Structure 1
Amino acid sequence: MNKQLMIFSTVMLFSLFCKGQEDWKLKQSKEGIEIYTKPLENSHLKGIKVKCALPVTLSQLVTVIMDVNTAAEWVYSTKSSTLLKKVNAGELYYYSEVSLPWPISNRDFIAHLKVTQDPHTKVVTIDGPVVSNYLPEKKDIVRVRSSYGKWVLTPQKNNVKIEYTLETDPGGSLPAWLVNLFVAKGPHETFKNLKVQLSKAEYKNVTLAYIKE
């Protein structure tokens, strides 16, 4: 490869990288919770990214997130959430139904959560893709077939930095006002509730053998 071609290729790669970085736009910043959105490819829907930092431990956060039977207590608009299969301490499948205002049909999904931790940085990642065919569909509930959530938990001196991203297609036809509700209000309420959930006694002094603080 000649020098000019190398320079051109480098510039093109850099511009593509910058474009990808600029896709996320700050939608709302309130109470220490930042919400970003970006258009999803080939869709009228938006991806969501939430950033905040909480004065808790990695074990506390992982425990709350993986305690899926209590998700209705803090995840916005969750009607029910039930553990289906626990593969091991850091991997599980669960079912959840999302409540939507009448006359719109509720949505449901089956998610596969898996926890990993970088042994050097101690950064914890929790991947949560949906597994749409894990259970038969239910009458009058729309099954979410395309969705991917991801938690990245980065330990800092006095807190844990949280970055949560969600790219989902809820299926069916949804009015714009409802989509916008879940883009801003939903994530904000969820993370406000997460703070409250983490303060409960059962999560206060929890430690996990597979998580290094």
Structure 2
Amino acid sequence: MKKLCKYLLWSLLVLPSFQAYANWKSWYSEDNLSISYQKQSSGLIEIKAQASFDNVNRQAFLNLLNDTQNASEWLSNVRSVQSLPWHTKGENIVVTVLNAPWPVKDRVMLTHSCHRLVSEATSKLLIKSIDKSKRAEFLPLEQFKKYIFVAPIEGSWLLEETSNTLLITHQIYADPQGKIPTWLSNKTALKGVKKTFQNMAKQIYKKEYQAENNFITSSCSTFE
């Protein structure tokens, strides 16, 4: 899928591996949005957010993601998003430049995303950071010397259609690197995810994003 996932978000700051822990703690539950987290061995947290949207389908969400010019309007702390050419349909390489609060140095995320079909009514967008050794294959690194690369990143967007409702579950872990205190990274991540979902609720219903499901998926074999 062309320009599949952009994202993601500085709101997304947290986890080495999803399966290692299962002690979720509720952080927010209101207005059809629930957010929980679990601490990892690094001290950073993995975040899980879930919300449902009536009368929209998966294509509306994917169209919103694909609108890179509008990314900063709903993805928290995101300055710009760029989707790079990639040879596999249903997959993308994405560069996300983040705005960090002063005096924290701005960050950049270089991620590989893949959209996989789970069932007829469910699909999952998988996201992981590009290894440091491979960054130069995609970016002129000289242009990014003023940034710190966020890595590792491991995340997903689970999209489930039931009747006239779209249920979105987002899990994310990302290490911001640098000398940011762990407590500040975790606080920023939670607030960022909350703001992103609140912004999404305002954007996903826009007329320009409405369409019949016509997305492309991949086997995502490199994510296994």
TM-score over 0.5 for the alignment?
yes
Question: 2:185 corresponds to which residue?
Answer: 179
Runs of 4+ in 1 over 4 A off after TM superposition: none
Residue 210 of structure 1: CA displacement? 3.6
Question: 1:7 corresponds to which residue?
Answer: none
Q: Which TM-score applies when normalising by structure 1?
A: 0.80
Residue 86 of structure 1: CA displacement? 4.3
Q: Is the Cα–Cα contact under 8 Å of residues 38 and 47 in structure 1 kept in the other structure?
A: yes
Q: Which TM-score applies when normalising by structure 2?
A: 0.77
Deviations 1:42-83 (A, max 9, x none): x11111100111121011112222444432221000011111
CA distance in 2, matches of 1:54, 1:141: 35
Q: Does 1:156 align with 2:187?
A: no
Question: 1:165 corresponds to which residue?
Answer: 171
Residue 87 of structure 1: CA displacement? 3.6
Question: 2:34 corresponds to which residue?
Answer: 34
Equivalences, count: 190
Percent sequence identity is: 25
Q: Does 1:127 align with 2:133?
A: no
Deviations 1:94-127 (A, max 9, x none): 1011101111101101111111112x44311000
**Code of the aligned partner of 2:202:** V
Residue 25 of structure 1: CA displacement? 1.0
Structure 2: gaps (5+ residues): 1-19, 218-224
Q: Does 1:52 align with 2:51?
A: yes
Query: SS where residue 149 of structure 1 aligns?
Result: strand
CA distance in 1, matches of 2:96, 2:215: 27
**Which residue among 130, 137, 142 is the counterpart of 2:148?**
142
Query: SS where residue 53 of structure 1 aligns?
Result: strand
* 1:86–1:195 CA distance, 2 compared to 1 (3 A): farther
* 1:125–1:172 CA distance, 2 compared to 1 (3 A): same
CA distance in 2, matches of 1:109, 1:99: 11
CA distance in 2, matches of 1:89, 1:163: 23
Deviates more, 1:131-140 or 1:150-159: 131-140
CA distance in 2, matches of 1:186, 1:63: 21
CA distance in 2, matches of 1:209, 1:113: 14
* 1:209–1:113 CA distance, 2 compared to 1 (3 A): closer
Greater percentage in helix: 1
CA distance in 2, matches of 1:209, 1:180: 33
Deviations 1:115-166 (A, max 9, x none): 1112x44311000101142422612211112111101111112201111000
Q: Is the Cα–Cα contact under 8 Å of residues 121 and 162 in structure 2 kept in the other structure?
A: no
**RMSD between aligned alpha carbons?**
2.1
Q: Relative CO higher for 1 or 2, CA cutoff 8 Å, sep ≥ 6?
A: 2
Question: 2:211 corresponds to which residue?
Answer: 205
